Amino acid sequence: MLEVEAGRGVTNYQFLKDLFQACACDNVDSLAIALRKTYLGSEDFTRACAFMDTVFSSRRFELPLKELLIIGY
């Protein structure tokens, strides 16, 4: 599954909505999210990567996805 965010992807936590939508879909093992590197002075790509690292490294929260790719543009 591929989601492309053109703007407020981090400000409105749209990248999390994309993650949960992918988890709710049948037969989806992989998710790619494209985010702007910066948006209105905010380091969106870096912030989203740090957030996802925390989610995926936690042993308390298990997701049905095998892989996640975050693309900065």
**H-state helical runs in 1-73:** 14-24, 44-57
How do the domains of the chain map onto residue ranges? 2-72
Tally of CB atoms within 10 A around 62: 8
- The span from the CA of 53 to the CA of 68, in Å, is 10
pLDDT at residue number 65: 92
The per-residue pLDDT for range 16-73, each reduced to its tens digit, is 999 999 999 999 999 999 999 998 888 999 999 999 999 888 888 888 999 999 999 9
Cβ contact 15:5 at 8 Å:
yes
pLDDT at residue number 9: 87
| Summary count for the chain: helices (H), strands (E) | 2, 3
pLDDT at residue number 71: 97
pLDDT at residue number 7: 83
pLDDT at residue number 20: 95
